[in-house]
Structure 1
């Protein structure tokens, strides 16, 4: 009977050891899985922090250009603003003592980068110095105007009246 009791004690001891080993294996798997989830969570947190930093930088950049957005909307006239823009050019020409013919090509509105561009020509008769004065006034206008080409036909020299053609382009609202 004592022998059976000792065998029984050994059996209980082996069972306890097996249960402990099973418990250790179970806990080890749980710890590994928890560490993996913790790593993924940390990576997501780092990703969110980077996005947050990017958003803060974007907000700072926007604050820097916020004032410029209003200026750009003035510089780029919409459909309604183009008529006023053309009137402004005609007024500048008449104040300079010029009568300018404004002509638009068949494809006057085109796309350039992410902007719309309207190309047109101004044809007028003036002295060289009147033309320079008029070009300075064009440069001072609120709209962005680029002078692409200047053609001067001067049969009398630059001191006399010349036939002048200015090929211009103006940037307009992209939703035109």
Structure 2
């Protein structure tokens, strides 16, 4: 029962924090992300809030910010070739991972399940990219929704009784986390 208590505890923590994230905490978008989206006015507003909280003066205007030029290679769409290629390259930029997998491939079931889980996780990427770009959810809503769903799966994991159920719940959790 120890591991079940662990998952109940972690699920409860994630669930409570995701509710707090939606109801209490009102985090601002980072200025870096806002710049990549071409939202210069919001960049200045966010920086002014930060400066005010820090007790520092800031006399930057949106026009001054725009005078420095556009961000190179910034695309608004999450589906652009440039943004997707950066993420895909990150999956294959380390040859040691391939060598490691080859050395321990005698554990067929473990690695088969790992491959299935990771493959399911690839479906989460386009779903998240789509959800982030929608006006209904946006970045904040997507984060909150995935945190709640992950917490639900964390609770569900405590009811796993068979290896097939384990694979299913872990794969589903990977999609949303």
Q: How would you bin the TM-score normalised by the shorter chain?
A: under 0.3
TM-score in terms of structure 2 length: 0.22
Give the number of the structure whose residues are more often helix, by fraction: 2
Give the number of the structure whose residues are more often strand, by fraction: 1
